[in-house]
């Protein structure tokens, strides 16, 4: 409980310190740098949401779910909708019933750029409005129990409270819209357009379909800073191999199975993965003809 609480405190402290720097400098270029750094720090929230889905960010399930809903609200995401989808994703990884979609492969390099420009935003918006839709009666394939709808309704109520408080704070002059935009809205947008798709795209990219985790789930080992910020979620093969292993023990489990992961499914860094993906993705026909 203490370690998880300290991680949240550290996330808030880093975000606040960077915002303070931005206001002190009061220069657009400094703010752009601040937002870029905050968007990377945002990956901690992504990790908190993901670990809370598996109910082991905090030692107790209730605490984890509360943390997940609050972290999701900051990212304008319906945590319970994501949780329901993600549990089904683990049950049907890379097959036709995968609630997060079947594996994909880019066939042109412009698609990679498009995924960064819109992938994270579309994903978050789909979860936000998907949760609202379920709360008001929509029944997608990933809703299989009445309890799931009840939990999503509670989560939608939490989102409504957060958004109402935000609007009321601006309307009453408690905070300015500029402050809210600079501290919350813009860094969140930066995260959805950069770091979020950056870490999500590799997970099951070009997977052959259902089968052994070591040959359909990718791991980007990355560096200690990235693993710390992202709560080891980048060790994705180990996570799918044992979803019950909490984030702080995932490094140890990764070491146990690392030798079994097929070579093409483990990369030393995200950079190595994207270099490989770029090289193995077809060039646009015009460019190919020009260089022929």
- Would you list the domain boundaries of the chain? 2-290
**Secondary-structure percent of the chain, ordered helix, strand, coil, rounded to 5:** 70, 0, 30
Q: What is the mean pLDDT of residues 36-47?
A: 96
Name the percent of the chain lying above pLDDT 90: 85
Predicted TM-score of the model (pTM): 0.91
What's the confidence (pLDDT) of residue 224? 96
Which carries the bigger pLDDT value, residue 246 or residue 96? 246
Q: For 249-291, write each residue's pLDDT tens digit.
A: 999 999 999 999 999 999 999 999 999 999 999 765 444 333 3
pLDDT digits (tens, 9 = 90+) for 179-231: 999 999 999 999 999 999 999 999 999 998 888 899 999 999 999 999 999 99
Q: What is the pLDDT of residues 105-141, one digit of tens each?
A: 999 999 999 999 888 999 999 999 999 999 999 999 9
Map residue 267 onto helix, strand or coil. strand
Q: What is the pLDDT of residue 291?
A: 39
The set of residues, in sequence order, having a beta carbon less than 8 Å from that of 221 and lying 6+ positions away, is 227, 234, 235, 254, 266, 267, 268, 269
Q: Which residues of 117-135 are buried (b: 16+ CB within 10 A; e: fewer)?
A: eebbeebbebbbebbbbbb
**pLDDT given for residue 282 in this prediction:** 78
Cα 90 to Cα 79, 203, 209, 241, 244: the distances in Å are: 16, 12, 13, 10, 11
215-218's contacts with Cβ under 8 Å and 24+ in sequence apart are 215/262, 215/265, 216/93, 216/94, 216/103, 216/265, 217/93, 217/265, 218/265, 218/266, 218/267, 218/273
pLDDT number for residue 100: 85
Task: Report phi then psi at 106, rounded to 5.
Answer: -70, 140
DSSP symbol at 211: S
* Residue 32 scores a pLDDT above 50: yes
Residue 287, pLDDT score: 41
pLDDT at 288: 39
Do 208 and 55 form a contact (C-beta atoms < 8 A)? Answer: no
């Amino acid at each position: 409980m203490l370690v998880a609480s300290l991680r949240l405190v550290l996330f808030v402290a880093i975000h606040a310190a960077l915002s303070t720097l931005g206001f002190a400098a009061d220069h657009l270029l400094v703010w752009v740098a601040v937002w870029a750094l905050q968007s990377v720090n945002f990956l901690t929230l992504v990790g908190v949401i993901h670990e809370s889905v598996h109910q082991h960010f905090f030692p107790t399930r209730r605490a984890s779910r509360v943390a997940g809903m609050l972290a999701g609200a900051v990212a304008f995401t319906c945590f319970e909708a994501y949780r329901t989808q993600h549990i089904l994703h683990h049950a049907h990884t890379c097959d036709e019933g995968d609630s997060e979609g079947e594996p994909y492969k880019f066939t042109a390099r412009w698609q990679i750029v498009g995924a960064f420009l819109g992938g994270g935003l579309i994903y978050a918006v789909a979860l936000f409005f998907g949760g609202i839709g379920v709360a008001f009666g929509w029944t997608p394939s990933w809703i299989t129990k009445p309890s799931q709808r009840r939990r999503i309704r509670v989560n939608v109520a939490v989102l409504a409270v957060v958004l109402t408080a935000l609007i009321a704070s601006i309307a009453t002059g408690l905070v300015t819209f500029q402050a809210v935009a600079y501290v919350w809205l813009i860094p969140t947008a930066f995260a959805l357009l950069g770091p979020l798709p950056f870490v999500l795209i590799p997970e099951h990219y070009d997977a052959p379909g259902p089968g052994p985790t070591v040959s359909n789930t990718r791991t980007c080992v990355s560096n200690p800073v990235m693993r710390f910020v992202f709560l080891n979620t980048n060790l994705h093969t180990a996570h799918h191999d044992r979803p019950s292993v909490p984030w702080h023990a995932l490094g140890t489990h990764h070491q146990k199975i690392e030798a079994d992961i097929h070579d093409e499914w483990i990369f030393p860094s995200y950079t190595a993965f994207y270099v490989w993906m770029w090289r193995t993705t077809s060039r646009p026909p015009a460019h190919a003809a020009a260089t022929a």
